[in-house]
Chains A and B, each alone.
Chain A
């Protein structure tokens, strides 16, 4: 079975703090993709990153960074120097090669206070 767990339901931080959102996944597939999406209060889903299961290099994009570790089946997302505009619900998702179906975690609501 495939599953994505985001154990943190809600996180609150003060602006400029660093924050890490956890994502743990389960799959028997040897090839798969992992994603992070952002859902701001307006409701749309904004694609942030896609990671191939064969590529364990960490990635940094501005204030965002992702730590992919196959040994612990985790794909964690860190926001450095958080800003109020980062307030949103963040979803981690898993996709198997072939079906393209996305299995989503339940999301983590991040609130960044000024």
Chain B
């Protein structure tokens, strides 16, 4: 089983819809992250969480919200999706010694 699991893997939806991307991990790490990847821009940090009670904005948090329901779960929400949020989204956990472990990504298309 994957250590960091993202659901769904692919999603097509319409402008204005509310969408939730889920991430769960079995690594026992406290720190979790959400990134988005756009062609030519690399990965950019949306939100990160150091534990259940600690949520921090990344460089591109506008239009997104997150929920850390438990140590193992970190969800990303788009309250009212817009086309320029079409991207590949990655969840990651962090091991201070070894670095970040990424999920396989969620391809989100907003029409």
Contacts and interface: CB of A to CB of B under 8 A. Distances in A.
Nearest to B106: A43
A113 interface: no
Interface stretch (A61-69, A73-81, A94-102): A94-102
11 contacts: A33-B99, A44-B105, A100-B96, A101-B33, A101-B48, A102-B33, A102-B43, A102-B100, A104-B35, A104-B43, A105-B42
Interface of A: 9, 33, 35, 37, 43-45, 47, 50, 91, 93, 95, 100-102, 104-107
Nearest to A42: B104
A50 B40 CA distance: 23
B102 interface: yes
Interface of B: 31, 33, 35, 40-45, 48, 58, 88, 90, 92, 94, 96, 98-102, 104-105, 107
B99 A107 contact: no
B42 A50 contact: no
Nearest to A92: B42
Query: Is chain B's interface secondary structure helix, strand, loop, or mixed overall?
Result: strand
A93 B44 CA distance: 11
Contacts of B99: 33, 35, 47, 50, 95, 102
Nearest to B41: A106
Contacts of B104: 43-44
Contacts of B101: 47
Q: What are the 7 closest A-B residue pairs judged by CB atoms, nearest first?
A: A104-B42, A100-B94, A45-B102, A106-B42, A104-B43, A44-B104, A50-B99
Nearest to A39: B37
A102 B92 CA distance: 10
A80 to B, nearest CB: 24
Nearest to A101: B45
A43 B88 contact: yes
Contacts of A95: 99-100
Nearest to B103: A44
